[in-house]
Chains A and B, each alone.
Chain A
Amino acid sequence: MTTSRAMTAVLSVGETRRPVLGHAALAVLGVVCIFPIYWLYATSFRAPEDIYSLSPFPWPLSGANYATAFQVLDIGGLLLNTTVMAVGIALGQLLTGLLAGYAFAAWEFRGKQLLYLVFVATWLVPFQVTMIPNYALLSQLGVLNTIAGVVLPSLCSALGVILLRQHMQGFPTELLEAARLDGRGSWATLWTVVVPNLRPALAALGILLFVNAWNEYFWPALVLQRSNAVLQLGLRSFMGSEGNDWGPMMATAGMACLPVLLLYLVLQKQIVNGFVRSGLK
């Protein structure tokens, strides 16, 4: 009895030390990641005269920066525009990715490998190369200065196609065959068998695409010449030749981050699942 107890003790010391070190390292990393975001919100809540203060806690709390931001910008309208744009792009890319990924993973057709390579290759083409032709095309279509103009060229992303094809290749073929025998066509199989089982992957990819679209700055700036169309462009209003107006800028940036953070909180479980699974495959 004594021996076994002693051994348990020895084991537990050895086994606890490693997790403690690991947790410490992770905690440091966590702080490094969170600090800039914390500083952003801290700065946004400082009184305008304390804006350059280095005290870690913004005290007294002040909402003045938010008030200024709301005065200068139509925050509600910007939020709406940005949401429409980001949701439109994310949904479009998800849908095209789903359809193309399904075709590449579940169908056999001539030239499949070549077509897929072409898809992958578009991923390697830098944005700057397609920027001008896209702009010219939008101009001809008469959709410059509109949200539709921002969304339209971004409706298909090679990233979505590649990731979803990868997920669907791991999908059991027997399930697709069972659905075929059970009387489902290819289209119905996609929606009643594949999509419900790919929910974690779709959620994770959806978030990724949404965040990408939400944070997009350059392309909207090019298409929407009016500065007040989306939040990321609204931030420009606080940059001036005689210096930046940090307080309201941080307040606006803080509000720009909120939807993404909220989305993450709501879908956290699915996102983690999706990334873990894609990692395992």
Chain B
Amino acid sequence: MSRIQIEGLTRRFGQVTAVDHVGIDIPDGDFLVLLGPSGCGKSTLLRMIAGLTPPSDGRILLDGRDITHIPPRDRDLAMVFQSYALYPHLTVARNIGFPLRARRRPRTEIDSRVETVTRVLGLGELLTRRPRELSGGQRQRVALARALVRDPGAFLLDEPLSNLDATLRTATRAELTELHRRLGSTFVHVTHDQVEAMTMATRIAVLNRGRLEQVGTPSEVYDAPATTFVAGFIGSPAMGLLSARLDLVDGGLYARAEGVDLPVGPGDPEDGARQVLVGVRAEHLALVAPSTAPLRGVVRLVENLGSEEVAHCLVGEARLTVRGPRPLGLAAGDSVGLTTDPEHVHLFDPGSGRRLVRTPTPVTAVQS
């Protein structure tokens, strides 16, 4: 139905480059979440797909057709705005029917489509109300219904959950996922909330300062972050990063720094003496006796999350967090020893911030 290809898309506002050569291929039926902190260009990117902001450079293809310079109404895309943008002077029914009336569809078709969509979203009793008489959640549904009624090729959602309270947000998240499963349409969803991204997306595109950092499934992005930015942005608490130097000892690589002597797996001679950033997620760290631990530090703060505790530790000059069932048995000021499996250690290049990938050594036994 709708595959969206974005090629080298750029948008400059004066001196500022809001979106910088972004390229993503969104296959039909994908639920792509554009994730990033505020000001990372994710909304600008969505608005360029919608046709509301003209790109400075690059192309947008919809099912192979170049739509870069096609006006929004001819793009076969529907958008749900952060503020919902419901027409205040129209009833719910007329709000939902608005896109069809604008396209001069026959009255009977409009009525039946509005009827169908409102039934699907459970809006039947609200049809004669005006937007100001609706709760936040109801407004959100009406906005969604107005997008659905056109049966567009793809849905663009600009932080549609950010104005809902926490309980409603969780419920709506599940509903949106269900809706996507049922419709099978392409969804592009903008958010700064990593939980939304992890739970709803089939793929996540992480943006930072207008650049695309990584595109991948939620597990790929979480398990193998492509950059230190992604590593720090996704996951709560954030992945701890510490600066270290690699040493090759008997074919095994060790990350070494003050308080750090951590085996990170097998390596090649050229990896020795290389400076790296070492990242370990909080749940992959385990407590061991401080005297022999590969990571030695001091507990700065222990947070109680109810079922779990998170201890913030200082190892050398880096902050590492460790997470475990309550009680962890740690208190601020304690000396702490931490360890982890080499497979859970992420290595990044300190200059570019990009992930260092271990290529299989030529002498692996697997081949024989």
A positions within 8 Å CB-CB of B: 172, 174-175, 177-184, 188, 192-193, 196-197, 199
Contacts and interface: CB of A to CB of B under 8 A. Distances in A.
A182 B99 contact: yes
Given A181-B72, A182-B146, A184-B73, A174 B50 contact: no
Contacts of A184: 73, 102
15 contacts: A172-B83, A174-B81, A175-B85, A177-B81, A178-B79, A178-B85, A181-B52, A181-B73, A181-B77, A182-B73, A183-B102, A184-B73, A184-B102, A197-B87, A197-B88
Contacts of A181: 50-52, 72-73, 77-79, 99
Given A172-B85, A182-B99, 11 more contacts: A174-B81, A174-B83, A175-B85, A177-B81, A180-B72, A181-B78, A181-B99, A182-B102, A188-B102, A196-B90, A197-B87
Contacts of B99: 181-183
B89 A196 contact: yes
Interface string B53-76: 000000000000000000111000
A197 B89 contact: yes
Q: Is the interface of A mostly helix, strand, loop or mixed?
A: helix
A148 B217 CA distance: 71
A179 B146 CA distance: 11
B98 interface: yes
Contacts of B52: 177, 180-181
A178 B83 CA distance: 11
Contacts of B51: 180-181
B103 interface: yes
Interface in B80-104: 81-83, 85, 87-90, 98-99, 102-103
A188 B99 CA distance: 12
Nearest to A180: B72
A180 B78 CA distance: 11
B319 to A, nearest CB: 40
Nearest to A174: B85
A199 B89 CA distance: 10
A93 B354 CA distance: 62
A183 B83 CA distance: 19
A153 B81 CA distance: 44
Contacts of A177: 52, 72, 79, 81, 85
A180 B99 CA distance: 9
A178 B73 contact: no
